[in-house]
Amino acid sequence: MLQASPVPGKGLLSPDDHTLILIDHQSQMAFATKSIDAVLLRNNAAMVAAAAAGFNVSTILTTVAEKTFSGPMFDEIKAAFPTAAPIDRTSMNSWEDKNITAAVNAAGKGRIVLGGLWTSVCIVGPALSAIDQGFEVYVIADACGDVSDEAH
């Protein structure tokens, strides 16, 4: 017979066993988000960032074409990590940027937690790439949105 015991499951995340990657939470692109209210998405991403900072979760911030097209990362996310400089990229799949994978490797965690502005672009590519390379991947669905419900 199975016996219940008052201990957390081994599959649960803890602050020290994963790396959080917040991807492309940028103002210019947020205007096209329709699957979730843009203010709610921004607030949710800010809460995730604040919680991660408060619990000292290994966190990587990344943007795409910040200076030329998409604008800066949400101020609320940057405020949670005042000394962190987001890694700016030109590739759509953040996992294809050597600076991102170098940061993941430096963190040394086998679990990746993702939040990104658009699920279809910011999340699918890195999630599938990380899974293909043996990482365990989690997605914070309410810290993501997309141009439609179907895309999300």
Q: Is 70 exceeded by the pLDDT of residue 151?
A: no
Average pLDDT, the chain: 93
- Rounded Cα–Cα distance for residues 126 and 133 (Å): 10
Ramachandran quadrant class, 94 (left: phi over 0; alpha: psi -120 to 50; beta: rest): alpha
CA–CA distance, 52 with 81 (Å, rounded to integer): 9
Give the tens place of pLDDT for each residue, 16-59.
Answer: 999 999 999 998 777 678 888 999 999 999 999 999 999 999 99
* Whether pLDDT at 82 is above 80: yes
Say whether pTM exceeds 0.85.
yes
Q: What is the pLDDT of residue 34?
A: 80
CATH topology (fold) of 37-107+117-143: Rossmann fold (3.40.50)
Summarised one tens digit per residue, pLDDT across range 117-137 is: 999 999 999 999 999 999 999
Q: Which among 78, 71, 61, 80 is positioned nearest to 31, based on CA atoms?
A: 71
> 122 catalytic, yes or no?
yes
Please give the Cα distance from 36 to 27 (Å, whole number).
15
Domains of the chain: which residue ranges?
37-107+117-143
CB 7 within 8 A of CB 45: no
Residue 100 has pLDDT above 90, yes or no: yes
Catalytic residue among 45, 49, 61, 122: 122
